[in-house]
Amino acid sequence: MRWCKSSRDDYIYTTPVYTRNLSYSLTDSPWEFSAFYELAKNVKNVILQKYLKEYKKHPAYEYLIKARLYKLVTENMDNYYNFRANLNFEGKRVHEILSISKAGFKQIQRLNGGCQYLALIQLAEKMGKSMTDEQLRIFAKMNLYSNLLEDLLEITSPQKIINYIDRCKECREEEKHLDSATNIATYWRDYLKNCKLLGYDLKNDFNIFPKNLKVRHDEVVAIYKVEENAIQEKAIAELHITLQEVFGYTNKELGLISLVPSSREEIITEGQILRHCVHTGSYIQRMIEGTGYIIFIRKADSPETPFFTAEVVDGVIQQCRGLKNCGMTDDVKKFVSNLQKSLIKADVKSFNAKPAAAVRVIA
| Nearest-angstrom CA–CA distance, 202 and 185 | 16
- Is the confidence at residue 12, as pLDDT, over 80? no
Residue ranges of the domains in the chain? 3-127+134-139, 235-360
Instruction: State the chain's mean pLDDT as an integer.
Output: 87
Tens digit of each residue's pLDDT (9 = 90 or more) over 123-139: 999 999 999 999 999 99
pLDDT at position 267: 92
Give the model's confidence band at 174: pLDDT under 50 very low, under 70 low, under 90 confident, else very high.
low
Mean pLDDT on 294-319: 93
- Is the confidence at residue 7, as pLDDT, over 60? no
- Is the confidence at residue 361, as pLDDT, over 70? no
Neighbours of 180 (CB within 10 A): 14
Mean pLDDT on 22-45: 90
What DSSP string runs through 306-346? --EEEEEETTEEEEEE-GGGPPPPHHHHHHHHHHHHHHHHT
pLDDT at position 363: 36
Nearest of 143, 78, 89, 153 to residue 116 by alpha carbon: 143
Give the model's confidence band at 50: pLDDT under 50 very low, under 70 low, under 90 confident, else very high.
confident
Mean pLDDT on 111-128: 94
pLDDT at position 362: 40
pLDDT at position 84: 79
Tens digit of each residue's pLDDT (9 = 90 or more) over 227-280: 888 888 898 998 899 899 999 999 999 999 999 999 988 999 999 999 998 877
Nearest of 107, 110, 119 to residue 145 by alpha carbon: 119
- Is the confidence at residue 224, as pLDDT, over 80? yes
pLDDT at position 8: 53
Nearest of 332, 174, 150 to residue 257 by alpha carbon: 332
pLDDT at position 359: 46
Give the model's confidence band at 70: pLDDT under 50 very low, under 70 low, under 90 confident, else very high.
very high
Mean pLDDT on 320-346: 92
**246: CB partners within 8 A, 6+ apart:** 346, 348, 351, 353
What DSSP string runs through 85-113? ----TT-SSHHHHTTS-HHHHHHHHHTT-
State which of 53-62, 76-85, 102-111 shows the largest mean pLDDT: 102-111
